[in-house]
Amino acid sequence: MTDLQRVNITKQHPAAYKALTALSSEVQEAAAAVGLDPLLVELLKIRASQINGCAFCLRMHTRDALKKGETPTGSPYCPDGKRPATSPRPTAPPSA
């Protein structure tokens, strides 16, 4: 396989993908239990995908973040990982 070929992790490594999705579900539940914003969790997944260099995961989590309210000018698209000053995302205070 060359560097330009894509890996279909669901077909080539189904057991690993199943384990990753199970871990992701546990993380989602734990994050929700402590009141973390689901979009923040998705942005963390995007950053991990950037660090790991996984295009498959980066694409998947970017799509999920857009569905959860992220904008195309938000951090997944910024090379330095910082949100542009002209596009702040309002945050609600954590519920007590």
Chain segment 14-70, per-residue pLDDT in tens: 999 899 899 989 999 999 999 999 999 999 999 998 898 888 888 989 999 999 988
95 in any annotated domain: no
**In total, how many domains does the chain have?**
1
2 in any annotated domain: no
Planar angle of CA 36, 74, 85, nearest 5 degrees: 105
16 in any annotated domain: yes
87 in any annotated domain: no
92 in any annotated domain: no
Provide the domain limits for residue 63. Answer: 11-77
Q: Model-level pTM?
A: 0.65
d(CA 96, CA 17) in angstroms, rounded, equals 36
